[in-house]
């Protein structure tokens, strides 16, 4: 269905894109209340996927009624009345926020995060909060304190993480769009595993205010949807300076990314890092990527070989820096001011210990311990300082590569989504699966995943696109042109 053709039966609204729903609402073909009710019904029907952690029908319908009133007045933004859901890492005043952790059970924020408030300002209607790995720490959404999320393409497999709830909900058509966060690949990898489009913008493009912190120098918000056009609309709404509340926010104007779509790809130079196409990449993923790259060549792009020589160092560097920052950020969860507090304790120190032991899951404890160790006296210089130096060298590798190419392309993950529980006894397997997404995160570059076909067991494969700083528009255009020439992004998991 094209954006210009949106008339449909009420039973098929969930098959429409964000752009199509926005047009239908403005044409008064459907009301925001009707749309909200339609998606709330689907959410209940497919609750066993485990995608949602919190819903409030009254709050959702109240937002929908406000959107309808705004639409009736005319001149409402395109996104007004369109439903979406938020990863449970963004605080929300109308819904509880847990970050997927027992530590925050019962917590209700008195304010909205900047990303949430920006999308609400556009008139979007929140359907609820989506599951994620605890404090966004994980690659499979199996680390949530409230159970694993299932991949709609195969419910025996993981949806990816940490934004697995967001990916599963969009793939199952429970919401047309969702927010996610990406610290080391947590938008791109679940988008790849679930056949979606997802983009992590340049670090600082979207405010981190009200986004529960994992690793502050890496965390970045972004949208997940079915098309590049939808992500362009959402990203424009999410981004913008927030200097008073986020010191890492970039002082750059908001762009209308949707206006930059449909540009020719003639002469576009796509760099293929040789380090991304080694023995660690499975044959089925490689074949899918070659098919997508062939389509881009037909559209006028050329392919050049490049090198990112420090790719293998991204894993040890990330798993020093990110746990170090997590150790610091999570020290605030001590049972004193908010969140979980143990029931039985003898003194303050005992309360701290028992509260944190009960509230945090195994993976969070593992990363806190690692981070505390690398920051400790005698090890800071050997580990943390060295990791920061190599991080700069990884960023320099990208800048050298961009001298000979405009966009970098490669895999998102070495394999398709793996079975639930497959990595349960080996956390390092999850870490190694992030090899292709970590470098761009460490460099603060924009990166996205675009559906690129299917691999083993009929599971989706994503093509990763990486751009230079503030080049989100170029990435979205490449993805949009690819989606105009292919139908991978239009495929629907069986039964949804």
Could you read off the pLDDT of 291-310 as tens digits, one per residue? Answer: 999 999 999 999 999 999 99
Please confirm, yes or no, whether 376 is among the known catalytic residues. no
Residue from 186, 236, 249, 327 carrying the catalytic annotation = 186
CATH class, range 15-263: alpha beta
Q: What is the mean pLDDT of residues 411-436?
A: 92
DSSP state of 60: H
Largest CA distance in the chain: 70
Quick one: pLDDT at residue 1? 33
Q: Has residue 3 got a pLDDT over 80?
A: no
Q: Check if the beta carbon of residue 438 is closer than 8 Å to that of residue 276.
A: no
* Angstrom distance (rounded) from CA 198 to CA 289: 17
Q: What is the mean pLDDT of residues 215-231?
A: 98
The pLDDT-based confidence of 11 (bands split at 50, 70, 90) is low
Q: What is the mean pLDDT of residues 450-473?
A: 98
The domain limits of the chain are 15-263
Burial label for 496, CB within 10 Å (0-12, 13-18, 19+), is: middle
Please confirm, yes or no, whether 389 is among the known catalytic residues. no
Q: Has residue 491 got a pLDDT over 50?
A: yes
Quick one: pLDDT at residue 75? 86
> Pick the residue with more confidence: 378 or 464?
464
Q: How many CA atoms lie within 13 A of 57 on its CB side?
A: 9
Q: Is the pTM of this model over 0.75?
A: yes
Quick one: pLDDT at residue 10? 55
Determine if the peptide bond prior to 162 is cis (ω within 30°).
yes
Quick one: pLDDT at residue 319? 96
Mean pLDDT score across all residues of the chain: 96
Residue from 31, 113, 162, 249 carrying the catalytic annotation = 162
Please confirm, yes or no, whether 5 is among the known catalytic residues. no
Helices (H), 151-212: 164-171, 188-193
Residue from 31, 87, 150, 192 carrying the catalytic annotation = 87
- Of 426, 187, 429, 185, the residue nearest 318 (C-alpha): 185
- Of 126, 158, 140, 122, the residue nearest 43 (C-alpha): 126
Quick one: pLDDT at residue 5? 38
H or E, element range at 64? helix 57-73
């Amino acid at each position: 269905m094209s954006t210009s053709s949106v008339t449909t039966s009420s039973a098929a609204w969930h098959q429409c894109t964000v752009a199509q729903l926005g047009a239908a609402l403005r044409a008064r073909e459907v009301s925001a209340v009707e749309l909200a009710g339609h998606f709330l019904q689907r959410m209940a029907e497919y609750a066993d996927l485990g995608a949602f952690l919190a819903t409030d029908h009254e709050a959702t319908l109240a937002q929908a009624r406000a959107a309808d009133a705004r639409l009736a007045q005319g001149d409402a933004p395109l996104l007004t009345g369109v439903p979406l859901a938020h990863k449970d890492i963004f605080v929300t005043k109308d819904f509880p926020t847990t970050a997927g952790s027992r530590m925050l059970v019962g917590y209700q924020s008195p304010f909205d995060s900047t990303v949430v408030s920006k999308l609400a300002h556009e008139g979007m209607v929140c359907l609820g909060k989506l599951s994620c790995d605890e404090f966004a720490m994980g690659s499979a959404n199996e680390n949530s304190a409230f159970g694993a999320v299932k991949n709609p393409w195969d419910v025996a497999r993981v949806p990816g993480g940490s934004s697995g709830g967001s990916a599963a909900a969009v793939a199952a058509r429970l919401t047309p769009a969702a927010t996610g966060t990406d610290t080391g690949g947590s938008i791109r990898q679940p988008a790849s595993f679930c056949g979606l489009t997802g983009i992590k913008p340049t670090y600082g493009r979207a405010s981190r205010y009200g986004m529960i912190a994992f690793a502050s120098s890496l965390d970045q918000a972004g949208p997940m949807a079915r098309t590049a056009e939808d992500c362009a609309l959402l990203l424009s709404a999410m981004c913008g300076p927030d200097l008073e509340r986020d010191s890492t926010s970039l002082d750059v104007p908001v762009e209308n990314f949707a206006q930059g779509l449909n540009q020719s790809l003639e002469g576009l130079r796509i760099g293929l890092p040789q380090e991304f196409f080694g023995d660690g990449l499975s044959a089925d993923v490689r074949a899918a990527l070659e098919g997508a790259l062939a389509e881009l060549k037909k559209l006028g792009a050329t392919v050049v070989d490049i090198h990112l020589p420090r790719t293998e160092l991204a894993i040890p560097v990330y798993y020093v820096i990110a746990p170090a920052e997590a150790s610091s950020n999570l020290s605030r969860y001590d049972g004193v001011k908010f969140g979980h507090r143990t029931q039985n304790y003898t003194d303050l120190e005992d309360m701290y210990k028992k509260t944190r032991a009960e509230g945090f899951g195994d993976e969070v404890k593992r990363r806190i311990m690692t981070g505390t160790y690398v920051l400790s006296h005698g090890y800071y210089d050997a580990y943390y300082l060295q990791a920061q130096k190599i991080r700069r060298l990884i960023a320099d590798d990208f800048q050298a590569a961009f001298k000979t190419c405009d966009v970098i392309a490669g895999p998102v993950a070495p394999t398709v989504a793996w079975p639930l529980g497959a990595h349960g006894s080996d956390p390092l397997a999850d870490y190694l699966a992030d090899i292709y997404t970590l470098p761009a995160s460490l460099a603060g570059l924009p990166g996205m995943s675009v559906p690129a076909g299917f691999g083993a067991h009929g599971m989706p494969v994503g093509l990763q696109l990486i751009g230079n700083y503030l080049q989100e528009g170029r990435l979205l255009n490449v993805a949009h042109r690819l989606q105009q020439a292919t139908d991978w992004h239009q495929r629907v998991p069986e039964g949804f």
